[in-house]
Amino acid sequence: LTPTSPATPSTPSTTRSTAPRPQTGPALSAIAQLVAERPVGHSLAAPFYTDPDIYDLDMEEIFGKHWIFVASEAEIPDAGDYVTVDVGRHSVIVVRDDDEIVRAHRNVCRHRGARLLESPCGSVGNIVCPYHQWTYRPDGELAYAESQPETFDRSSFGLRSVHIRSLAGLLFICLADNPPEDFDEVATRLEPYLEPYDLRNTKVAHQTDIVEGGNWKLVMENNRECYHCDGAHPELITAYFTVSRYTEEQVTPRNREQYGRYLAAEQELARARSAIDFPQSDITELDTRPSGFQISHLPLDGDGASFAPDGRQLCRTLLGRIPSPAFGDLSLHLQPNTWFHFLGDHAVVFSVLPLGVDRTIVRTTWLVHPDAEEGVDYDVEELTAVWKATNDEDRELVEKTQRGVHDPGYVPGPYSLVEEEVEAFVNWYVTRLGAALPAHLFPNT
Ligand code: 3BY
Ligand code: FES
Ligand code: FE
Radius of gyration of the chain (CA): 23
Average pLDDT over residues 169-186: 98
Ligand 2: nearest atom to the Cα of 113: 3
Q: Peptide bond preceding 12: is omega within 30 degrees of 0, i.e. cis?
A: yes
pLDDT 10s digits, 234-260 = 999 888 887 887 888 989 999 899 899
Banded model confidence at residue 17, pLDDT cuts 50, 70, 90: very low
Whether residue 7 is predicted with pLDDT greater than 80 in this model: the reply is no
pLDDT 10s digits, 263-321 = 999 999 999 999 999 999 999 999 999 999 999 999 999 999 999 989 999 999 999 99
Q: What pLDDT score does 237 carry?
A: 86
If phi > 0 it is left, if psi is from -120 to 50 it is alpha, else beta; for residue 140 that is left
Residue closest to 433 by CA, chosen among 63, 174, 163: 63
Q: What pLDDT score does 106 carry?
A: 98
C-alpha 160 – ligand 3 centre gap (Å): 38
The maximal CA–CA distance of the chain, rounded, in angstroms, is 81
User: Which amino acid, one-letter code, is at 321?
Assistant: R
Report the percent of the chain where pLDDT is more than 90. Answer: 87
- Alpha carbon distance 349, 326 (integer Å): 19
Least confident of 68-77, 232-241, 346-355: 232-241
Q: What pLDDT score does 25 carry?
A: 53
Residue closest to 273 by CA, chosen among 221, 196, 339, 219: 196
Q: Peptide bond preceding 26: is omega within 30 degrees of 0, i.e. cis?
A: no
Q: What pLDDT score does 245 carry?
A: 75
> Pocket of ligand 2, candidates 132, 136, 147, 159: which has the most ligand atoms within 8 Å of its Cβ, to mutate?
132
Q: What pLDDT score does 240 carry?
A: 82
Residue closest to 312 by CA, chosen among 385, 213, 218, 418: 385
Whether residue 2 is predicted with pLDDT greater than 70 in this model: the reply is no
- Does residue 156 sit in helix, strand or coil? helix
DSSP string, 207-246: EEEEEESS-HHHHHHHHT--TTHHHH-HHHHHHS-TTTT-
- Sheet holding 81-87: strands in order across? 102-106, 90-96, 81-87, 121-123
Q: What pLDDT score does 273 carry?
A: 94
- Protein residue with its CA nearest to atom 3 in ligand 2: 112
Instruction: Answer whether 280's CB lies under 8 Å from 306's CB.
Output: no
Whether residue 13 is predicted with pLDDT greater than 50 in this model: the reply is no
C-alpha 98 – ligand 1 centre gap (Å): 38
- Other CB atoms within 10 Å distance of the CB of residue 320: 18
Q: What pLDDT score does 445 carry?
A: 59
Q: What pLDDT score does 335 carry?
A: 98
Q: What pLDDT score does 241 carry?
A: 83
User: Which amino acid, one-letter code, is at 126?
Assistant: N
Whether residue 21 is predicted with pLDDT greater than 80 in this model: the reply is no
- Protein residue with its CA nearest to atom 4 in ligand 2: 132
Is 221 or 444 the better-scoring residue by pLDDT? 221
- Other CB atoms within 10 Å distance of the CB of residue 21: 14
Residue closest to 298 by CA, chosen among 248, 250, 346, 246: 246
- Alpha carbon distance 267, 258 (integer Å): 15
pLDDT 10s digits, 396-434 = 999 999 999 999 999 999 999 989 999 999 999 999 999
Ligand 2 pocket, residues with Cβ under 6 angstroms: 109, 111-114, 129, 131-132, 134
pLDDT 10s digits, 88-139 = 999 999 999 999 999 999 999 999 999 999 999 999 999 999 999 999 999 9
Length of the chain in terms of residues written: 445
Least confident of 13-27, 77-91, 160-174, 418-432: 13-27
Average pLDDT over residues 216-232: 95
- Alpha carbon distance 145, 137 (integer Å): 12
- Alpha carbon distance 236, 242 (integer Å): 9
Say which DSSP state 440 is in: G
Average pLDDT over residues 341-367: 98
Average pLDDT over residues 369-395: 98
Whether residue 19 is predicted with pLDDT greater than 50 in this model: the reply is no
Banded model confidence at residue 23, pLDDT cuts 50, 70, 90: low
Residue closest to 435 by CA, chosen among 57, 46, 173, 14: 57
Residue 398: CB within 6 Å of ligand 1?
A: no
Distances (CA, A) of 252 to 106, 247, 422: 52, 11, 21
Distances (CA, A) of 57 to 22, 236, 344: 11, 35, 39
Average pLDDT over residues 340-345: 98
Whether residue 16 is predicted with pLDDT greater than 50 in this model: the reply is no
- Alpha carbon distance 135, 14 (integer Å): 26
Q: What pLDDT score does 93 carry?
A: 99
Whether residue 195 is predicted with pLDDT greater than 90 in this model: the reply is yes
Establish how many alpha carbons lie within 13 A of residue 397's alpha carbon, considering only the half-sphere containing its beta carbon. 21
Q: What pLDDT score does 26 carry?
A: 60
Supply the mean pLDDT for the chain: 93
Establish how many alpha carbons lie within 13 A of residue 230's alpha carbon, considering only the half-sphere containing its beta carbon. 9
Instruction: Answer whether 9's CB lies under 8 Å from 158's CB.
Output: no
Pairing mode of beta strands 170-174, 163-167: antiparallel
- Protein residue with its CA nearest to atom 8 in ligand 1: 223
- Alpha carbon distance 338, 171 (integer Å): 11
